Structure 1
Amino acid sequence: MPWQQHPRWSRRAPKDGARGVSDESGGLYVLQGNRSLAFWRYDIGADGWEILPDVPAGPAGRPVVGGSDLVHVRVDDEAHVYLLKGRTGEFYRYDIAAGEWQELPAAPVGIKGRWDRGSWLVHDGMGTIYAHKARYTRSMPEPHHELWLFDVRAGSWEQAARSGLPLIGWHGNRRRAKRSRDGSGAGWFDGAIWSLKGGNSQQYFRYDPGRNRWHEEEPIDSPGSANRRRMVKDGGHFVAYPRGRAFYALKGNKTVEFWRYRLAPEGWTPGGGQSVAGQLAEERFSVGPNPVRGASVRLNWNLAAERSVRTSVFDAAGRLVKRLELGSARGGNARLDISGLAVGTYLVRLDGSHAPTQKLVVQR
């Protein structure tokens, strides 16, 4: 399908701080950015724009600028669009049913107060929003970025920051320290966050929440359709497409390059062409039912080779609360007794594998 140009939505063009997010029901919610407070909804089927209530100006009267991001969240049959306002860290949500903005606790200040360009939001589909602060800390023994968690149901931020994007990664044929800046973005897939760092880099990482650990993945190629060496910079963007087991990215940086990433062995391909169905040699782990109200859950796993594994369960504070030895096998299933666990959110990890950690919500 070729790209198509749609009618202009305002006299002020979208610019710094402009962001959009799908509601997965045929609509897009869009920040206009460019030091405005404009907020819009685009109906894909009707090919038309709807003006929505402006973003709150906040106590300091600040407009939407770089560092802002949106994420659509549907939890317990309620849908909202969450907004992190750049620089200030003001945090709001738009109630889709009521058609109004609601103020939430501001994003944590951390070591450096400003939420700069390259900051982003990701929702895990289970009620936790991950907020990445692009402005990294120099005053730590190992300088790093910050990653903060917001509990949608509790309406509160986690008290301590998690590990943010690593500073050092592959850049060309050598490893270099690069900050997360313009063009950085992320998406959630298969129990992990996948993120392009931006900031005129080609670095690409995956975050495992259960281990609070980042893993470097295959960098995006620097040469592309522009026939020039271009990294990801301002104008770049990154989204997940779980149904296609793929991610799509714009490089920005004064190019029109459009890329697709699929899990190994395919990796990065330019142009975002037609997907090819195939068997992916990856390790899988699932927990169900989820959410769960009963006394046990079923574990299913499939590994690339036979090895000894066990499952570990951690509470929201990262404490180990349960462990079960599963023996040595390439794949299998088992019942995990959770009768002693209190209501809440837990992380279930398959130790001895490369399978993503799963989130488990216990209800009674």
Structure 2
Amino acid sequence: MARFLGIGLIIFGLSGLGFTADIGVTKIFAPTGIIPPDNYIPRAQIKNYGGGEESLWVYFRISTLDGSPVYFDSNYVGVQAQGTTNISFASWTATIGVYISKCSLYLASDTSPDNDTLSARVRVENLMPGQWYLRDSVPYGESGKRVKDGGGLADGSARSDKFLYVLKGNNTSEFYLYDLILSNWQAKRPVPYSLENPSKGPKKGTAVLRSGNYVYLAKGNNTLEFWAYYIPDDTWTRLKDIPFGPSGKRLKGGSSLAEGKIGNKKYLFLTKGSSTREFYAYDTDLDTWIEKTPTPYFESESKGKIKKGSCLVSDGENIYLLRDKTNWLFFYDCDSNQWYPRESLPFYGRAQKKAKVKDGAAMAYQKGNPDIIYALKGGGNEFWGYSVEHDSWVELTSLPLLPSNKKVKGGGSLLSIAGGIFALKGGNTNELWMYVPTDTIFNPAKTPKAVGYGPLIVGNGKRRVEHTPISNLPQSLTELNIFDALGRKVRVCAKGWQGLKPGVYFITFRDKSYDSRMRGNSSSPRVLIRLRRIFGDSKGQSPFAKIVIIR
């Protein structure tokens, strides 16, 4: 009896220290979303929430919507305390249809069986990479209107199931949820009208973004209204208004939202647009707006004000800004509150017709190898991809003009979800499209560049720094000499930049077109170059040259 009691006390003591068994299925990596027929390796992740190492059976099943089984496999795996394990199963040959992927596990001592199973729906259909496919049109709804200014897309996914929130805009309150797998629409609670603006719905200047369990909405339409839609309860809540700011303006074009991180905390970032350079961070916990470094511009521009066509996108931590008309692309480091230029979106594509970023432009970020930013140029139907790693653009298949024979305009929007890039065409159409990404778009070919000269204006305009990548020096360059900080010549033009160590260098260069812009001054301008790995070696970036023209 004494021994039995002793063992009982030991077991009770360990249990009191938290050594309980709780294993859950946290993710289904594949198959999910919309995919073409092929062979796929089902993959899932489990997590051990308990205090001790466990070994257990994990199962993967695929069935049709009516429950008929088409696939089954299992694996016996181990998982460390508080750790995760990714599991691969035998290959599945996917044929056209709609299926349910289900991952489950069994552990006799599991104290929380509610998290032992996770399901995801998958749609298999004939798709060709690099092509666009028309999906079901946005409903006409009570207003009878089409998608126009103020239209937008937001991620509506629920765990592993893929949904899309669609805002119609066009001064309506209509708000929809689209099931990407079953291809059906559901009307959600309309965007509320406010007491001070009883007739104003989302229109020009609207921005929409999903973050956590909320969809955030800057209403635009010459208001400062900011709203949050709580997904579990299908309800809207009015939040603190967007600041009037230095300009005293409301939102009426060029506004955009993206999520970034300062430290480990998430914030929403907003460009006000409306012919301002105002840029804000929103603290979702405190319902507070924080003024940040204004958007940058180059000396050759007229104050660089953000207007319709400008748009933001996030890599999950930091922000990218595509500028209207100038086609400039900027990177914003949320931690340092600083802007940096990237390769501009080319003016000229396959059609060899100059096209600026205009109303309807939008970006979507897709993580992969490499990470790619997809961009609709707006005002036409050009579609581009930007490699974050290569800092270069490639023109992709244009968004079809048919069936409406209309171009991308107000209400244009992009979102990466369910393995595809989804696009609202806007422009008074109800068209919703899906682009199927391809793994082979980046062997980037040389494309015409939107080359510009003049210092980059940052902050309040008192600091002028030319951050133009060295690749943007004119093609008519005829002479280039590189000197180190002690004045020793270390390179000439023919040898390029390979092999130069990070540091500070001076160059002299001669270019006929640049000399003419300098009004006959034939002397070579002095240029300061700093070679470094952008944002540190941990980012895996290649060295780039950044220059400051000293006149």
Question: 2:331 maps to which residue?
Answer: 149
Question: 2:406 maps to which residue?
Answer: 230
Cα contact 1:239–1:249 (8 A) shared by 2 = yes
1:346 aligns with 2:539: yes
**d(CA) in 2 for partners of 1:281 and 1:166?**
20
1:84 aligns with 2:271: yes
Per-residue deviation at 1:239?
Answer: 1.4
Q: Residues 95 and 344 (structure 1 numbering): CA distance in 2 closer, same or farther, change over 3 Å?
A: farther
Letter of the 2:356 partner, please give it. Answer: R
- The CA deviation string for residues 37-67 of structure 1, in whole angstroms up to 9 with x for no partner, is 0000011221110110000101121111211
Cα contact 2:191–2:236 (8 A) shared by 1 = no
1:258 aligns with 2:432: yes
Per-residue deviation at 1:128?
Answer: 2.6
The CA RMSD over aligned residues, in Å, is 3.0
**d(CA) in 2 for partners of 1:106 and 1:206?**
26
Between the two proteins, the alignment pairs up a number of residues equal to 269
Letter of the 1:2 partner, please give it. Answer: W
1:162 aligns with 2:349: no
Question: 1:41 maps to which residue?
Answer: 228
Letter of the 2:305 partner, please give it. Answer: R
Letter of the 1:106 partner, please give it. Answer: P
- The CA deviation string for residues 259-280 of structure 1, in whole angstroms up to 9 with x for no partner, is 011213xxxxxxxxxxxxxxx7
Where 1:168 maps in the other structure, the secondary structure is coil
Where 2:185 maps in the other structure, the secondary structure is coil
**d(CA) in 2 for partners of 1:116 and 1:65?**
9
**d(CA) in 2 for partners of 1:4 and 1:164?**
39
Which one has a larger percent helix, Structure 1 or Structure 2?
A: 2
Per-residue deviation at 1:97?
Answer: 1.5
1:178 pairs with one of 343, 347, 355: 355
**d(CA) in 2 for partners of 1:8 and 1:188?**
26
1:134 aligns with 2:308: no
Letter of the 2:347 partner, please give it. Answer: L
Cα contact 2:261–2:318 (8 A) shared by 1 = no
**d(CA) in 1 for partners of 2:320 and 2:286?**
25
TM-score, normalising length: structure 2: 0.45
Question: 2:258 maps to which residue?
Answer: 71
- The CA deviation string for residues 11-47 of structure 1, in whole angstroms up to 9 with x for no partner, is 2111101010010x22111100011100000112211
TM-score, normalising length: structure 1: 0.67
Per mean C-alpha deviation after superposition, the further-off stretch among 202-211 and 70-79 is 70-79
1:102 pairs with one of 290, 301, 316: 290
1:22 aligns with 2:210: yes
Cα contact 1:205–1:215 (8 A) shared by 2 = yes
Structure 2: unaligned runs, 5 residues or longer: 1-183, 443-498, 503-528, 543-551
Question: 1:120 maps to which residue?
Answer: 311
Letter of the 2:412 partner, please give it. Answer: G
1:209 aligns with 2:388: yes
2:420 pairs with one of 223, 235, 246: 246
Where 1:195 maps in the other structure, the secondary structure is strand
Q: Residues 318 and 132 (structure 1 numbering): CA distance in 2 closer, same or farther, change over 3 Å?
A: farther
Per-residue deviation at 1:156?
Answer: 1.7
Question: 1:276 maps to which residue?
Answer: none
- The CA deviation string for residues 286-310 of structure 1, in whole angstroms up to 9 with x for no partner, is xxxxxxxxxxxxxxxxxxxxxxxxx
Cα contact 1:40–1:50 (8 A) shared by 2 = yes
Q: Residues 162 and 4 (structure 1 numbering): CA distance in 2 closer, same or farther, change over 3 Å?
A: same
Per-residue deviation at 1:81?
Answer: 0.5
Q: Residues 319 and 194 (structure 1 numbering): CA distance in 2 closer, same or farther, change over 3 Å?
A: farther
Cα contact 1:79–1:97 (8 A) shared by 2 = no
Question: 2:192 maps to which residue?
Answer: 9
- The CA deviation string for residues 321-356 of structure 1, in whole angstroms up to 9 with x for no partner, is 6xxxxxxxxxxxxxxxxxxx996753446xxxxxxx
Per-residue deviation at 1:76?
Answer: 4.1
Where 1:176 maps in the other structure, the secondary structure is coil
**d(CA) in 2 for partners of 1:250 and 1:342?**
34
Q: Which has the higher contact order (CA 8 A, sep 6+)?
A: 2
- The CA deviation string for residues 144-179 of structure 1, in whole angstroms up to 9 with x for no partner, is x21122111112222xx3222211124xxx442211
Where 1:93 maps in the other structure, the secondary structure is strand
Cα contact 1:114–1:135 (8 A) shared by 2 = no
Structure 1: unaligned runs, 5 residues or longer: 137-144, 265-279, 284-311, 322-340, 350-364
Where 1:232 maps in the other structure, the secondary structure is coil
- Structure with higher Rg: it is 2
- The CA deviation string for residues 154-213 of structure 1, in whole angstroms up to 9 with x for no partner, is 12222xx3222211124xxx44221111110001112121101111x1111111233321
Cα contact 2:259–2:319 (8 A) shared by 1 = no
- The CA deviation string for residues 67-100 of structure 1, in whole angstroms up to 9 with x for no partner, is 1100012454311100011021101000111221
**d(CA) in 2 for partners of 1:128 and 1:154?**
10
1:194 aligns with 2:385: no
Where 1:239 maps in the other structure, the secondary structure is strand
Letter of the 1:212 partner, please give it. Answer: D
Where 2:233 maps in the other structure, the secondary structure is coil
**d(CA) in 2 for partners of 1:130 and 1:96?**
21
**d(CA) in 2 for partners of 1:342 and 1:212?**
14
Cα contact 2:269–2:280 (8 A) shared by 1 = yes
Letter of the 2:358 partner, please give it. Answer: R
Per-residue deviation at 1:7?
Answer: 2.6
**d(CA) in 1 for partners of 2:228 and 2:206?**
13
**d(CA) in 2 for partners of 1:318 and 1:346?**
18
**d(CA) in 1 for partners of 2:319 and 2:416?**
15
Which one has a larger percent strand, Structure 1 or Structure 2?
A: 1
Per-residue deviation at 1:282?
Answer: 8.2
Q: Residues 345 and 37 (structure 1 numbering): CA distance in 2 closer, same or farther, change over 3 Å?
A: farther
Per-residue deviation at 1:6?
Answer: 2.7
